[in-house]
Amino acid sequence: CCQGHISGVNDLSTALTLSLYFLDGYSKILPKTETDASLLSSHRLRRRQLKVEYDKDENDSQVKKEHWEPPEWTKQLGFIREMRSGRDAPVDHMGAEKCYDAEAPAHVRRFQVLVSLMLSSQTKDQVTAAAMQRLRTHGCTVEKILTTDDETLGKLIYPVGFWRNKVKYLKLTSAMLQREFGGDIPNSVEGLVQLPGVGPKMAHLAMDIAWDQVSGIGVDTHVHRITNRLGWLKKPTKNPEETRKALEEWLPRELWSEINWLLVGFGQQVCQPVNPLCSMCLNQYSCPSAHKNSPLKRPKAGSPRFPSPTSSSKIKAEPEQESAVKVEKESMPTPIPPTVQKKLKNKVKR
C-alpha cells in the first residue's frame, strides 16, 4: 500500500521504517473490535438511507430542489391580519361557516355547508346568504331538494350566479349523495370533486368547514388575485388551481385553513378586484403591485396624507387583471368600513 511512497528510497532500514509508519496510520481508521465494526456499519447504513428531493428539468436531468418563499411574506401577513382584526367583512358574517343550521343533525349541517359553497361561486356573500336562508326555511336537506321541482328551487336560489345550472347541480348532487353516501357528503377531496358542480376549491373548504380536516388551501378569485399581486408565488399563475398548488409548495400547513377567509375578507374590503385601496393598505410599501393601477401619486413613507377611498372611483383596472375582472363581475367590491379606515390612517401616522 505504500509502495508508491518508498519507491525512491535506497536504504532498506529507512524504507522499512516508512512502511511501518504508513501501516500504523492506516490501522487507526480500521475498527479494532466487533463493536467498532458494528457501529461503523450502522453509521454507513444510516447515511445510505438519507434522501434528497430532486426535480427533473426538461432534459430529464436531476436538479436539486431548493426551498423558496417570498420575501417579507410574514410581515405582509401580519399587516393583513391587523387589517382583518375587526372581522367585519361580508365573508365573516355570511360565508359558508355562517350559512348552515347549527341545530340540524351533523349530516344535514355538512350538506348545507356544501350547498352554500356551490351557490357561492360567482356570487356575492350577501346573495348567497339570502338564498341559503330561503332554502333553510323551505327545507335544505337531500330529501327535500330531490322532492322540490326545478322551478321552485330556481326561485329559492335566484339571483345567485348561474342559478339555472346550479339548480341542475343541486338535484344531481343530492341524488348522488342519497344513492352512494347515505345522504351525507363524502369525507375526502377525491369523493367531493366527483359531485356535479363541485371543484377543488369547494372540496377543500368543505373538508375544512364540514369535516374539520385541512386537506388543502381553498383558493377562490380573491386568494388567486391577492397572492399574485403580493408576489407570493414563484411565478405568476393563470387560475386558482395553479395558485393552490404553488402556495402549498411553501406556505406552512398550519396557515392553510386561515389563509382563505383572511384573504377573502381582505379582498372584499381593501385589495379589491377593481380600484384596490392601495393608499389605505399597510402593505403598500412592500407590495410589488401597489399603486400600479392608480393615477394617484404614491405617498411617501410616514406621510399622514391619505386620499379618500372614494377618490379611486375613476381608477382603471390593471391590464393583467382584466380577465379576473370579467370573472368577478358578480362579486362587486365592498367599501371599506369607516372603522378600518380610521385604524389604517392611525397606523401610518405612527
> Do residues 121 and 101 lie in contact, with contact meaning Cβ atoms separated by under 8 Å?
no
> Do residues 174 and 146 lie in contact, with contact meaning Cβ atoms separated by under 8 Å?
yes
Cβ-based burial of 211 (10 A; exposed 0-12, middle 13-18, buried ≥19): middle
Phi, psi angles (nearest 5°) of residue 54: -130, 150
The per-residue DSSP string of 30-82 comes to S--SHHHHHHHHHHHHHHHH----EEE-TTS-EEE------TTHHHHHHHHHH
Of 231, 319, 332, whose CA–CA distance to 272 is shortest? 332
Cell of 185: 357528503
Rounded distance, CA 266 to CA 272, Å?
8
Cβ-based burial of 109 (10 A; exposed 0-12, middle 13-18, buried ≥19): middle
Q: Which residue in 32, 65, 98, 201 is the catalytic one?
A: 201
328: left (phi over 0), alpha (psi -120 to 50) or beta: alpha
Geometric angle at alpha carbon 92, from 86 and 98, rounded to 5°: 145
Spatial CB neighbours of 11, under 8 Å, sequence gap ≥ 6:
none
Of 68, 63, 64, whose CA–CA distance to 231 is shortest? 68
254-264 CB burial, b ≥16 within 10 A, e <16: eebbebbbbbb
DSSP state of 155: H
The per-residue DSSP string of 278-291 comes to GGG-TTTTT-TTTT
- Annotated catalytic residue 201: yes
Active site positions, annotated = 201
